[in-house]
Amino acid sequence: MKIIGSYVSPYVRKVLACLALKGLAYEIDPITAFYGNEEFERLSPLRRIPVLIDGDLALSDSSVICAYLDEAMPGHPLFPADVKDRARARWFEEYADTRLGDVFIWGLFYPKIVQPIIWGEAGDQARIDRTLAEDLPREMNYLEGQLPEEGFLFGSEIGLADIAIATFFRNGAYAGFEPDAERWPRVAAFVEGTLAHACFATFLPFEDVQRSTDPQGRRRALLEAGAPLTAETLGTREAKKGVMRL
Ligand SMILES: N[C@@H](CCC(=O)N[C@@H](CS)C(=O)NCC(=O)O)C(=O)O
């Protein structure tokens, strides 16, 4: 199986953690979000990562991919057995993908990290401030009321709902946000325990390498070396229909 996507994306990380949990081998084609040529658009109609390629099957959307992995592959189940628990697990996955995605990624990680590094422009400081002062505390309060005192959402075994929530906190940490353990003790303990699980640990070194790359520097180096003006070397929003592999 092949995954197209960046280790730094929370949605890609969610899929990689599920693959690791199931003990499945994969290779990764590490393209940067926001870049992708016509072939990428054919595989991912919304031009988003992750994409899973399994033989003649190409799937986008992390939830669709994880559901496929759970139904098609043996190994550690990604959902709890009880039917009501399964429904609640789907809710937590949807909540994380939509709301935590909005708050952690668009409200914090994007303006603080992606805008300066990928686009070479300043992020919206007012949006960052509002996220830290209002949006994140609201979601931490919600999670504090939902998460268990210890272990995982549905007992002692980790599952997709836990992974889907925890993955956003890694991007939060990259942007300088850690949940205050005195204010939100369950959230802090859950995030620490879940991100320390072996299913996240396998690809952390690759994630670190990818984070340490400098697309702006790489772009400058390519231009200085006389590379043609392409989406990759220009790096502008208008010219993003190239493929940037890091
Ligand atoms: N619902 C999608 C969201 C995926 C997503 O938004 N990925 C981001 C990277 S973290 C992306 O590819 N953004 C590129 C764009 O919006 O053009 C999923 O769960 O896979």
Specify the residue with its C-alpha closest to ligand 1, atom 16: 48
For residues 245 and 31, is the Cβ–Cβ distance under 8 A?
Answer: yes
- pLDDT reported for residue 238: 52
3-class DSSP state for residue 213? coil
What are phi and psi for residue 132, nearest 5 degrees?
-70, -35
Angle at 106 between CA 116 and CA 18, to 5 degrees: 105
Other CB atoms within a 10 A radius of the CB of residue 13 amount to 26
CA of 2 from ligand 1 middle (Å) equals 17
- pLDDT reported for residue 234: 57
Look at strands 51-54 and 57-60 and give their pairing: antiparallel
Residues of the chain with pLDDT under 70: 215-223, 227-246
- Spans of all domains in the chain: 83-200
Specify the residue with its C-alpha closest to ligand 1, atom 19: 62
Indicate the top mutation candidate among 11, 207, 211 to test ligand 1's pocket, ranked by most ligand atoms within 8 A of CB. 11
- pLDDT reported for residue 241: 63
For residues 246 and 6, is the Cβ–Cβ distance under 8 A?
Answer: yes
Residue 241 CB contacts under 8 Å (≥ 6 apart), including other chains? 35, 36, 37, 38, 231
CA of 148 from ligand 1 middle (Å) equals 29
- pLDDT reported for residue 237: 57
Ligand 1 residue neighbourhood (C-beta within 6 Å): 9-11, 33-34, 47-50, 61-63, 97
CA of 182 from ligand 1 middle (Å) equals 33
Q: Provide the whole-model pTM.
A: 0.91
Q: Give the CATH architecture of domain 83-200.
A: Up-down Bundle (1.20)
